[in-house]
Amino acid sequence: MSELLRIESLSAGYGEAVVLHDVAFALGEGQTLALLGRNGTGKTTLINTLAGATRQHGGSIALGGQALHKLAPHQRAAAGIGWVPQERNIFKSLTVHENLTAVERPGKWNPQRVYEMFPRLAERKTNLGTQLSGGEQQMLAVGRALVLNPRLLLLDEPLEGLAPIIVEELLRAIRRITQDEGLAAIIVEQHPQAILAISDEAVVLDHGTIVHKDSAATLRTQPQVLDRLLGVAR
């Protein structure tokens, strides 16, 4: 398996405030990483830093050997980063279909494939973003990242605040995207067992520093370790 992402000695934050300290790890092509930690430990900051939305103070980020830390956010998207932030950031004044076609790039993921994965969006393709439920907005945010045809998908708490039936639907979609389609992903989530079940590797952050690395399968079978690291075993 060839290496896709390499992060070395990464320090980053907002303005002069440094949130991440000396973060380093690598991810292979087609692998999924569960990014875990208590609230406020730097998970979102790490995702935002990969997308280019923070100030980097040191270290390096390479995607497929290309230095990302020197690129603006739109250039990182062109290089292969697909970002689904916590806020979703869909274009609420555009229809579902316009949201997808506005950012679409050539590749195997197109609006039709998104509609096949999320039939709810197909039924609402002429609805404005403001007319969608929270779960439908999250599906659209994922779909919009996919039509960029990225090499690495960044998902920041994709299940947050959603009804259980929508959570199951999104988990099935994420499993298909990563396990069946082989798209590499980094997933931040407050439900560790749900994400560990569909991930290859796991990293735990605390105070902006990596405090634990392991295979997702191993960590999933160690509830006592999860409890110690996260304060919750399930």
- State pLDDT tens for residues 158-183: 999 899 999 999 999 999 999 999 99
Tell me the residue range of the domain where 134 lies.
90-141
DSSP strand pairing (209-215 vs 201-206): antiparallel
pLDDT at residue 34 greater than cutoff 80: yes
CATH code, domain with 198: 3.40.50.300
pLDDT at residue 232 greater than cutoff 80: no
Q: In terms of domains, do 94 and 132 share one?
A: yes
Contact (CB, 8 A) for 38 and 206: yes
99, containing H or E segment: helix 96-103
Q: In terms of domains, do 101 and 214 share one?
A: no
* pLDDT given for residue 233 in this prediction: 45
Query: Is residue 75 included in any domain, yes or no?
Result: yes
Query: Is residue 122 included in any domain, yes or no?
Result: yes
Q: In terms of domains, do 68 and 180 share one?
A: yes
pLDDT at residue 91 greater than cutoff 70: yes
Tokens of 112: 């039709």
* pLDDT given for residue 12 in this prediction: 97
Q: In terms of domains, do 14 and 121 share one?
A: no
Q: In terms of domains, do 157 and 197 share one?
A: yes
Alpha carbons 166 and 171: distance in angstroms, whole number? 8
Confidence of residue 36 (pLDDT cuts 50, 70, 90): very high
Tell me what the mean pLDDT of segment 29-53 comes to.
Answer: 96
| Cα–Cα separations (whole angstroms), residue 164 to 75, 149, 161, 186 | 36, 28, 9, 22
pLDDT at residue 234 greater than cutoff 60: no
Of 113, 141, 169, which residue is a domain's last? 141
* pLDDT given for residue 69 in this prediction: 87
* pLDDT given for residue 70 in this prediction: 87
Contact (CB, 8 A) for 68 and 5: no
* Per-residue pLDDT tens digits for 99-111: 999 999 999 999 9
Q: In terms of domains, do 14 and 116 share one?
A: no
Tokens of 88: 């979703």
Higher pLDDT, 196 or 231: 196
In sequence order, what are the residues at sequence separation of 6 or more whose Cβ sits closer than 8 angstroms to the Cβ of residue 27? 3, 4, 5, 6, 33, 152, 184, 186, 201
Query: Is residue 112 included in any domain, yes or no?
Result: yes
How many domains does the chain contain in total? 2
Report the range of poorest mean pLDDT among 120-124, 191-195, 205-209.
Answer: 191-195
Q: In terms of domains, do 110 and 168 share one?
A: no
Of 98, 117, 141, which residue is a domain's last? 141
Beta bridge pairs of residue 6: 26, 62
Tokens of 142: 């994922």
* pLDDT given for residue 3 in this prediction: 96
Contact (CB, 8 A) for 50 and 81: yes
Q: In terms of domains, do 55 and 37 share one?
A: yes
Tell me what the mean pLDDT of segment 28-38 comes to.
Answer: 96
Of 141, 160, 175, which residue is a domain's last? 141
Q: Which residues of 208-224 are buried (b: 16+ CB within 10 A; e: fewer)?
A: bebebebebeebbeeee
Tell me what the mean pLDDT of segment 76-91 comes to.
Answer: 94
pLDDT at residue 191 greater than cutoff 90: no
Query: Is residue 85 included in any domain, yes or no?
Result: no
